[in-house]
A and B are shown apart, each in its own frame.
Chain A
């Protein structure tokens, strides 16, 4: 391949890649457009009129329940999950900087959580809770289910981050008499801060969108994905799309804020 001139394979692959991006975003854009119809809109194209009627309707009381409540639950849960995920995976990442007895067992235990089919996690936690006579709730059993999904990802990312980490800084701090805690907060944490935001975002979104591992164990009050899933069977108006549009925009904003923060933190670090 020539540096000045791109080859045919480049253009073919670029075209393929563009189609892939279209495949990912196309349906989403269609849903955005259809959520902006006037009140006589339907579930399919062509668009009928233009208004914010359906977007506003999301905030009203729905036939199947209130989405604002479900959103509140999902949001709270995602914040808790993100916090726990960050703390636990940073701790585990710190431990895994060196080999220790049992480290490979713990490693495989963590990875296996990704491989176990999700429905088993849901079913198993459900059975466990019923055996010990605890009611399943979104903030207890579903929280446990989500952690089995977010922690392995966060753990793998932390392993990657710490493997690229230069231990000389820490050793210097320790040589100068800094305690373990001081070394962590003054030296290690600022260096991994950007990645920690990334892991937090991942934990948040994985939890906020989780369905299968929540499905059997959310208890009486649904999380947002469960609420929306229930809605698909009996709602045939664009309010379905409006809800989809709003939650997707929420995800986009969140990702944007997190990326911006990460950029900011890593830039401050290189200064």
Chain B
């Protein structure tokens, strides 16, 4: 190996070591533990499928998985419906690059602040005596405050959409900003309607951004438990929350088995998305 090559490998070594030590090895450790025996109190090394069988045969677990998918799907769809027009506005309707940067930064800043705090900030709006209930009662639409706003599926979805939609806006914006304006102008000159331009030009060219955003939003929702815990008041569960609870009660092999299934499901979804769209050009 030449001197030049050696220095290249030295340069990537620190970062790669971090991922081998703290990503690859830990996942292998989880996989190993997921086959260990668990007697209700402690775990012993071994090779059993009972942790997995326990998951596949339990109605509670299966419905928790379905619930996780439900939330991931709903949050993903809402994020997409919000992010596409937002990104389009920034990329095509805001003409000056300076204002594009400023507006994009304004969208980004909240995402650099604490997620937990941003969840807490919903309490004055969604609570029993929150602004939403007060407004609805003031309008005479409801007589008694609706309890369900805070600590409900609605609150979980609302908070997740607010927490994660930038992960959709940014990649779509990034794809759209690269679209050659001449294409759009040409289509217009040839008499295309606005809808046709969206369908034939912008949507296909923004697809890689949508794919990247979708991967982010779906894996973020699948891998977390804080929003689920805080905004549902512990009423709804997700696999992340389930894993967290199992660890709190020291059921490590069960938690590990759930984690491995969650990882495989996430990888399956990511590979399905990557099959439909080629994202390599975006990087």
A91 at the interface (CB under 8 A from B): yes
Q: Which residue of A is nearest B31, CB measured? A: A124
- C-alpha gap A155/B18 in the complex (Å): 13
Contact of B27 among A10, A21, A120 (CB under 8 A): A120
A44 at the interface (CB under 8 A from B): yes
B15 at the interface (CB under 8 A from A): yes
- C-alpha gap A147/B24 in the complex (Å): 13
Q: Which residues of A contact B20 (CB under 8 A)?
A: 109
A221 at the interface (CB under 8 A from B): no
How many A residues, CB 8 Å from partner?
A: 84
The smallest beta-carbon distance between B119 and chain A, in angstroms, is 8
Complex contact A144–B226 (CB within 8 A): no
B9 at the interface (CB under 8 A from A): yes
- C-alpha gap A232/B240 in the complex (Å): 19
Q: Which residues of B contact A251 (CB under 8 A)?
A: 112-114
How many B residues, CB 8 Å from partner?
A: 79
Q: Which residues of B contact A119 (CB under 8 A)?
A: 223-225, 240, 243-244, 259, 262
A257 at the interface (CB under 8 A from B): no
- C-alpha gap A88/B110 in the complex (Å): 26
Contact of B131 among A30, A114, A120 (CB under 8 A): A30
The smallest beta-carbon distance between A215 and chain B, in angstroms, is 7
Interface of A: prevailing SS = helix
Chain B residues engaging chain A, CB cutoff 8 angstroms: 5, 7-9, 11-12, 14-16, 18-27, 29-30, 33, 82, 85-86, 88-90, 93, 103, 105-107, 109-110, 112-118, 120-125, 127, 129-131, 134, 162, 194, 215-216, 219-220, 222-226, 230, 240, 243-244, 247, 252, 255-256, 259, 262-263, 266-267, 270, 283
Q: A119-B224, A229-B116 are in contact. List 10 more A-B contacts (CB 8 A).
A: A16-B89, A17-B103, A98-B8, A110-B19, A144-B18, A147-B22, A148-B22, A209-B112, A232-B116, A251-B112
The 10 lowest CB-CB distance pairs between A and B, nearest first, are A124-B26, A117-B223, A95-B11, A27-B121, A244-B117, A31-B121, A13-B89, A118-B223, A144-B22, A205-B112
